[in-house]
Amino acid sequence: MQKEIVVIIGGPGTGKTTIIDQLVAKGHCCYPEISREVILEAKKQGIEQLFLENPLLFSELLLEGRKKQFNNAQKEPHDVVFLDRGIPDVLAYMHYIGDSYPAFFDAACRENKYTKIFILPPWEDIYIADNERYENYEQAKLIYNHLVETYEKYGYTLIEVPKDTVDNRILFILGHL
């Protein structure tokens, strides 16, 4: 069987981390979202909101981290590896804020191809802002649109996960592998 590197994407507050955490609890190999790690590291260095203060640096750090996750996922002994967000997410966020980026961002999307992409739609009932999430619900919907546009640009067919219980969403994902 060929290794499946599966990405779960969606705007902020759509349930990605909850699904990843439950997949881990059920014994699946998963890689967490790395942006919180980058944000917390920047805060330790006195930069309150790195994405807002230096979006290109923030995005370069994410890009490097996500490329590393992709390469590590290929080496996993598991047949299926789930990732919380993928490399094209970085470009989608740059499009969202209207910033340009170097050509190597585009090259990274073309060179590191995922097997399947599951997308979680905006869901106001479960949306919660927190210390690392500074987008409101309207912004989350715009980000979702940029994610769709960006992933489709790189040839991905997105599989939309229905709004449902966490267990049913996981069953949907597993049933579409």
Domain ranges of the chain: 4-175
Per-residue model confidence (pLDDT) at position 147? 98
Per-residue model confidence (pLDDT) at position 134? 65
Q: 134 phi and psi, to 5 degrees?
A: -105, 10
The per-residue pLDDT string of the chain (177 residues; one tens digit each, 9 = 90 and over) reads 578 999 999 988 899 999 999 999 999 999 999 987 888 888 888 887 777 778 888 899 999 999 999 999 999 999 999 999 999 999 999 999 898 899 999 999 999 999 999 999 998 888 776 655 567 788 889 999 999 999 999 999 999 999 999 999 999 999 999
User: Per the confidence metrics, is the pTM higher than 0.85?
Assistant: yes
Q: Which of 147, 146, 130 is nearest to 36 (CA)?
A: 130
32-83 pLDDT, tens digit per residue, is 999 878 888 888 888 877 777 788 888 999 999 999 999 999 999 999 999 9
Q: Which of 105, 135, 168, 97 is nearest to 10 (CA)?
A: 135
The answer to whether domain 4-175 has CATH 3.40.50.300 is yes
Q: Where are the alpha helices (DSSP H) in the chain?
A: 16-25, 35-44, 50-53, 55-75, 87-97, 103-111, 137-153, 166-175
The torsion angle over the Cα atoms of residues 27, 67, 100 and 10, rounded to 10 degrees, is -10
Residue 160, SS3? Answer: strand
